[in-house]
Amino acid sequence: MVLTEDYNAASPAFRREIAAMLRRIWPDCGGEDEVHDARFRAQSFYCRMDGVLAGYVAVLRQDIVRDGVPFRLAGLSCVATAPEFRRRGVGRRLVSAASCWMAEQPELDFGIFTCHPALVPFYCGAGGWEVAPDVVLVGNSEPDALSSSTLGVAVLMRLFSAGAWACEAQLRYGVINLGFPPGRFL
């Protein structure tokens, strides 16, 4: 069963549990217990098996302006399944639940994030995501900002709102600046 809660309202113990699981999977991700910056209004999706945190994914939200038009975007982040629970459909259920949740949020215009190219079929199947081959995501406007074009990742996208669909051509081509702090990316 997939559970969800506002990360910013989550207990410190739960936040530490998330951070500990993510460090097991990505030892280089740092030693902080605060996984998500509060300004991204993270929504946590997780499941437990045998009382243990088996998998986790967050939806981060951000307001951007693209060619003078304001948009509210969201993206998947920290998609992870604990090694001992892999191959049981945990990740698929989490990505599906998080993707459905995004599509149901009336304030969201579109979803966008990056992944390793080998994972594209997983995200397309689990969450209805589509590759956006003509989009380059950049973390911010700094010269050394993280960029999908230099990281070798695929950009995945889903349009949700009528406003996003009306601007489809504008959103599916060119550079989208996430306006993130240095070192942050989707």
Tell whether 183 is covered by a domain: no
Average pLDDT along the chain: 92
Q: Which helix (H) or strand (E) holds 25?
A: helix 12-25
Which of these ranges, 55-64, 97-106, 174-183, has the smallest mean pLDDT?
Answer: 174-183
**Where would I find the beta strands (DSSP E) of 50-153?**
52-66, 69-81, 110-115, 130-131, 135-138
pLDDT in tens, 14-51: 999 999 999 998 877 666 677 888 899 999 999 999 89
Tell whether 185 is covered by a domain: no
pTM exceeding 0.85: yes
Number of structural domains found in the chain? 1
Ordered strands of the 110-115 beta sheet: 3-6, 43-49, 52-66, 69-81, 110-115, 154-159, 130-131
CATH number of the CATH domain containing 173:
3.40.630.30
Range of the domain at 39: 3-177
Tell whether 184 is covered by a domain: no
